[in-house]
Amino acid sequence: MLETHDLSKTFNGLMALQQHHLQLQRGEIVGVIGPNGSGKSTLFNLISGFLRPSQGGVRFEGREISRLAPAAIARLGIARTFQGTRLFKNLSVLENVRAGAQLRYPVNLAEVVSGLGRAKIHPPASEKMAWELLEMVGLEAVADWPAGSLPYGNQRRLEIARALATAPKLLMLDEPAAGLDSSETLTLLHLIRQVRDRYGLAVLLIEHDMDLVMNLCERIQVLAYGQVIAEGTPAEVQSDPRVQEAYLGG
Ligand code: ADP
Ligand code: MG
């Protein structure tokens, strides 16, 4: 489904990501781990079109996507969340989910003003679908609360519901458990599994919480200084001396 090939990004001479290769199949849950500054968010930004590669590229369902704009990539079925939440804090929980569909079909403001874009405006996610997603993330009871009034753990689950409102084929989560306590993290683990099982989508996640990564991911890739230093099952990665060295020596 997703393949990065020789994917590289340089910032002013700094190799943030070097010759990255990854293949992801439909229905797989794959984790990307590594010390701070190892290139994880850069990888996500390259896949989702927020950065242009210095070299190499990204294929999604056989098509080269690395020169497409973020909105075009989202329309192909790739949804992502960011480190920290980016909700519409003053909109209700339900409105945030319904607005998610707009992220997949964003309109050019100039076209809207001129009237040309009207036909392209995609309707918000249906009320029914939004409620289904809210139920799945356990937030139906607070559907009309402002999103900003929710405890942080609930905001993170709302972000996932919003990303799912675009009906993606690939869901990319950047540190979804950051700031969550252990019981919220467990709820998140079950949610991600449920989402994969119900919709059959692929999940790529960056995470520092090792318990979550090791329990949730079927395959893990380890980055250090922009390079892939190990890849395998949780057990393989955990026993790899290069991985232990990257974390202890880093
Ligand atoms: P991680 O997410 O693994 O912590 P990042 O991908 O954010 O790491 O960063 C990898 C390296 O690239 C770091 O050295 C970081 O400072 C650098 N970097 C990331 N984004 C930019 C940018 N927009 N401009 C310059 N340097 C950047
Ligand atoms: Mg990061």
Q: Are residues 145 and 185 in the same domain?
A: no
pLDDT at 108: 45
205 lines ligand 1 (CB under 6 A): no
Residue to substitute in 42, 46, 207 for testing ligand 1 pocket (most ligand atoms within 8 angstroms of CB):
42
Q: Are residues 54 and 10 in the same domain?
A: yes
- The confidence band for 71, taking pLDDT boundaries of 50, 70 and 90, is confident
Q: How far, in Å, is the centroid of ligand 1 from the Cα of 117?
A: 36
End-of-domain residue from the set 133, 167, 201: 167
Calpha distance 155→54 (Å, rounded): 35
- Tell me the residue range of the domain where 245 lies: 1-77+169-250
CATH of the domain at 219: 3.40.50.300
Into how many domains does the chain fold? 2
End-of-domain residue from the set 139, 167, 195: 167
The verdict on residue 83 lying in a domain is no
The verdict on residue 48 lying in a domain is yes
Q: What is the largest CA-CA distance in the chain?
A: 60
pLDDT tens track for 41-68: 999 999 999 999 999 999 999 999 999 9
Structural element, H or E, at residue 216: helix 210-216
pLDDT tens track for 79-125: 998 877 788 999 999 999 988 766 555 444 444 444 444 444 445 55
Q: Are residues 174 and 71 in the same domain?
A: yes
Q: Is pLDDT larger for residue 82 or for residue 173?
A: 173
Q: How far, in Å, is the centroid of ligand 2 from the Cα of 224?
A: 12
**Whether pLDDT at 148 is above 90:** yes
Q: Label the pairing between strands 63-64 and 78-80.
A: unpaired
Q: Are residues 56 and 179 in the same domain?
A: yes
39 lines ligand 1 (CB under 6 A): yes
The verdict on residue 32 lying in a domain is yes
- Cβ atoms of 219 and 188 within 8 Å: the answer is no
Q: Are residues 43 and 28 in the same domain?
A: yes
Q: Are residues 72 and 175 in the same domain?
A: yes
- Residue 14 CB partners (closer than 8 Å, separation 6+): none
pLDDT at 109: 44
Burial 188-211 (b: 16+ CB within 10 A, else e): bbebbeebbeeeebbbbbbbebee
- The confidence band for 32, taking pLDDT boundaries of 50, 70 and 90, is very high
Q: How far, in Å, is the centroid of ligand 2 from the Cα of 194?
A: 25
The verdict on residue 82 lying in a domain is no
pLDDT at 103: 59
How high does pLDDT run on average in the chain? 88
End-of-domain residue from the set 167, 199, 215: 167
- Sequence-separated contacts (24+) of 16-22 with Cβ below 8 Å: 16/42, 16/226, 17/42, 17/43, 17/46, 17/223, 17/226, 18/226, 18/227, 19/55, 19/56, 19/227, 20/56, 20/226, 20/228, 21/228, 22/221, 22/228
Q: Are residues 195 and 148 in the same domain?
A: no
The verdict on residue 84 lying in a domain is no
